[in-house]
């Protein structure tokens, strides 16, 4: 398809991303929603970069073992407590649980950056190494979450790489590319600053609708792992 064939967007599709981003406020504390591997990897990595972290869970007691050895910057609580704690929030639950996790924040996400790591992976088994999604090609989980909590500022991030490479990824001196999108320019500027701090090159792909393209990168990323047990890779956008 030629670029001229793509230039059909109307003003009705414009988002707040069109305004010039202001300088993002510094973040000191981050609430991380999720008790799994992604939440732990991000919590441990962000604390090494000086952030205070509260991990939120439906059952905070499950995190007692992690908390015992996590250090003075760590704390745990419910989803709502973690959302209130953070200057920004990371949503790091299974895709099937993402919408209910937002509900459990009890409105505490309003006005905050929410970095959405989730992918809409269905419970059905993969087919030929390709995971199945519960969303269609013309929707995304990010858009669902943004509609559920319209006062929050969702930014898709960390969704196209494994948890072991989310913070300080080491690929022999080559910075991998993190693709982000969202409707709020300031929230994306905050996300970009954090990602740059922890070792990423960032490509802003536009408004929340771009998550329809970013989320399927998870499918592509998983294929080498599911077929050949290769999980140590990331994407890089080459530009001329």
Q: Any idea what the CATH number is for the domain that residue 95 is in? A: 3.40.50.720
Which structural domain, as residue segments, surrounds residue 113?
Answer: 25-228
Other Cβ atoms within 10 Å of 97 Cβ, number? 16
Whether 161 maps to a domain, the answer reads yes
3-state DSSP assignment of residue 80: helix
3-state secondary structure of 8: coil
Residue 238 has pLDDT above 80, yes or no: yes
Is 214 a domain residue?
A: yes
Q: Give domain status of residue 62, yes or no.
A: yes
pLDDT attached to residue 22 = 53
Tokens coding 169: 């990824």
pLDDT in the model for residue 25: 65
Taking residues 19-42, report their average pLDDT. 84
Residue 149's nearest CA partner among 104, 82, 201 is 104
Residue burial 133-168, b: 16+ Cβ < 10 Å; e: rest: bebeeeebbbbbbbeebeebbbbbbbbbbbbebbbe
Judge whether 49 and 42 are in contact, CB under 8 Å. no
Structural domain contains residue 2:
no
- Contact by Cβ (8 Å): 218, 119: yes
pLDDT of residue 7: 47
Is residue 2 over pLDDT 90?
Answer: no
Instruction: List, for residues 48-92, the tens digit of each pLDDT value.
Output: 999 999 999 999 999 999 999 999 999 999 999 999 999 999 999
Gyration radius (Cα) of the chain, Å? 17
In a domain, 170, yes or no: yes
pLDDT tens-digit series, residues 190-228: 999 999 999 999 999 999 999 999 999 999 999 999 999
Is the predicted pLDDT of residue 11 greater than 90, yes or no? Answer: no
> Please, what is the Cα angle at 217 between 16 and 162, to 5 degrees?
105
- Rounded CA gap, 23 and 34, in Å? 29
Q: Is residue 150 part of a domain?
A: yes
Query: Please, is 175 exposed, middle or buried when counting C-beta atoms within 10 Å of its C-beta (0-12, 13-18, 19+)?
Result: middle
Count of structural domains, the chain: 1
Any domain includes 236: no
Cβ-Cβ contacts under 8 Å for 69 (sequence gap 6 or more):
none
5: confidence class by pLDDT, cuts 50, 70, 90? very low
67 within domain boundaries: yes
Quick check: 31 pLDDT over 60?
yes
Residue 46 and residue 167 in contact, taking contact as beta carbons nearer than 8 Å: yes
**pLDDT tens-digit readout, 143-180:** 999 999 999 999 999 999 999 999 999 999 999 999 99
Mean pLDDT along residues 106-110? 98
Question: Per-residue confidence at 26, pLDDT binned at 50, 70, 90?
Answer: confident
Written in H, E and C, the secondary structure of 119-172 is CCECCCCCECCECCECCCCCCCHHHHHHHHCCCCEEEECCCCCCHHHCCCCCCC
| pTM for the model | 0.90
Is residue 67 a contact partner of residue 39, using CB atoms and an 8 Å limit?
A: no
pLDDT computed for residue 105 by the predictor:
98
Q: How far is CA 193 from CA 27, 188, 201, 232, in A?
A: 10, 9, 10, 24
Gap between the Cα atoms of 65 and 89, Å rounded: 22
């Amino acid at each position: 398809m030629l670029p001229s064939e793509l230039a059909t967007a109307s003003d009705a599709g414009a988002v707040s991303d069109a305004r010039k981003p202001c300088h993002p406020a510094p973040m000191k504390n981050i609430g991380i929603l999720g008790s799994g591997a992604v939440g732990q990897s991000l919590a441990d990595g962000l604390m090494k970069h000086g952030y205070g972290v509260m991990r939120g869970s439906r059952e905070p007691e499950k995190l007692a073992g992690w908390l015992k050895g996590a250090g003075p910057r760590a704390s745990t609580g419910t989803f709502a407590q973690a959302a209130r704690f953070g200057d920004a929030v990371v949503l790091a639950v299974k895709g099937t649980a993402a919408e209910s996790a937002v509900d459990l924040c009890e409105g505490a996400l309003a006005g905050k950056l929410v970095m959405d790591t989730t992918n809409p992976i269905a419970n059905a088994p993969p087919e030929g190494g390709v995971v199945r999604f519960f969303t269609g090609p013309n929707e995304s989980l990010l858009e669902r979450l943004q509609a559920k909590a319209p006062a929050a500022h969702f930014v898709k991030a960390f969704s196209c790489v494994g948890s072991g490479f989310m913070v300080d990824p080491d690929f022999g001196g080559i910075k991998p590319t993190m693709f982000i999108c969202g409707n709020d320019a300031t929230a994306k500027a905050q996300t970009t600053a954090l990602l740059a701090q922890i070792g990423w090159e960032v490509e802003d792909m536009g408004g929340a609708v771009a998550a329809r393209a970013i989320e399927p990168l998870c499918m592509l990323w998983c294929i080498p792992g599911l077929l050949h047990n290769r999980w140590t890779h990331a994407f890089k956008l080459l530009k001329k």
